Chains A and B, each alone.
Chain A
Amino acid sequence: MRLTRALDTRSVLRFEGGLDLRLGNLAAGFGLTLAILGTALWSLTSGDTAIGLSELMSGELNEEQQFALMYVRLPRLLLGVMAGWCLAISGAMLQSLTQNPLADPGLLGLSQGSMITIMILLLYLPSAPPALIPLAGLVGGLILLLVLRLLLRGSVGDGLAILLMGIALDTSLSAITALLVLYTPTEISLAVSTWLAGSLYLSSWSQVSGLLPWAALSLPILLFGAPFLRPLDLGDDRAAAIGLNPARVKPVLLLAAVVLTSMAVSAVGPIVFLGVMAPHLAQFLSAATGRARLILSGLMGGWLVLLADLIVRTGASQTTISLGLALTLLGVPLFIITLRLRALRTLFQS
Chain B
Amino acid sequence: MMRFPRMLPLCLILSATLPAFAGPVTDDTGRSVDIPDEPERIIVLHEPLLGIPLMDLGVEIIGAYGRGDAGELQSAVDFTTATLGDRAQTTPPHGIGPFGNINIERLRTLEPDLIIGTEYDAAQADLLSAIAPVYLQNTGTGRVRGFEVEADLAGLLRREEVFEARKAPYDTQIGKLRKGVADILPGDSFLAVIVHDQINLVGNTSGMVQALEDLGLVREDIEGSVSNAPGSNFAAPISAETFMQLNPALLVLMNSYMDPEQGEVAVHARLDRIAPGWDRFMMPAREGRILYLDPAQVTSPTVASAEHTLRAVEDWLIAQH
Contact = CB atoms under 8 A, between A and B. Distances in A.
Interface stretch (A139-147, A188-196, A273-281): A188-196
B233 A185 contact: yes
Interface in A34-68: 47-49, 64, 67-68
Contacts of B2: none
A184 interface: yes
Interface stretch (B92-100, B150-158, B248-256, B261-269): B92-100
A30 B127 CA distance: 35
Interface string B9-25: 00000000000000000
Chain B, interface residues (CB within 8 Å), range: 35 or more
A321 B97 CA distance: 11
Contacts, number: 103
Contact of B100 (A72, A183, A199): A199
B176 to A, nearest CB: 34
Contacts of A221: none
A15 interface: no
Interface string B216-259: 00000000000001111111110000000000000000000000
A68 B105 contact: yes
B137 interface: no
Interface stretch (A158-166, A238-246, A312-320): A312-320
Contacts of A194: 99-101
Nearest to A207: B127
Given A130-B126, A185-B140, A204-B127, A123 B100 contact: no
B102 A71 contact: no
A320 B109 CA distance: 20
A298 B235 CA distance: 44
B120 A126 contact: yes
Given A67-B108, A320-B100, A126 B68 contact: no
A328 interface: no
Nearest to B108: A67
B69 interface: yes
B103 A48 contact: yes
Contact of B30 (A72, A127, A188, A190): A127
Nearest to B126: A204
Contact of B119 (A68, A126, A183): A126
Nearest to B105: A48
Interface string B169-209: 00000000000000000000000000000000001000000
A199 B130 CA distance: 20
Contacts of B106: 48
A204 B127 CA distance: 7
B130 to A, nearest CB: 5
Given A67-B108, A202-B127, A320-B99, A188 B231 contact: yes
A72 B106 CA distance: 11
B98 A123 contact: no
Nearest to B98: A320
A254 interface: no
Contacts of B104: 71-72, 201
A322 interface: yes
Nearest to B198: A182
A184 B108 CA distance: 31
A197 interface: yes
B33 to A, nearest CB: 14
Given A67-B130, A126-B122, A317-B69, A201 B101 contact: yes
A206 B106 CA distance: 22
A127 B29 contact: yes
9 tightest Cβ-Cβ pairs between the two chains A and B: A194-B100, A185-B233, A48-B105, A320-B98, A127-B29, A72-B104, A49-B105, A320-B100, A318-B68
25 contacts: A48-B103, A48-B105, A48-B109, A67-B105, A67-B130, A68-B108, A71-B104, A71-B127, A72-B105, A126-B120, A126-B231, A127-B119, A185-B140, A185-B203, A185-B235, A185-B236, A186-B235, A187-B118, A190-B99, A191-B100, A191-B123, A193-B100, A202-B127, A318-B69, A318-B74
Interface of A: 47-49, 64, 67-68, 71-72, 123-124, 126-127, 130, 183-188, 190-191, 193-194, 197, 199, 201-202, 204, 206, 312, 316-322
Given A183-B237, A185-B235, A312-B101, 12 more contacts: A48-B103, A48-B105, A126-B122, A127-B122, A185-B233, A186-B233, A187-B120, A193-B100, A197-B100, A204-B127, A206-B126, A318-B68
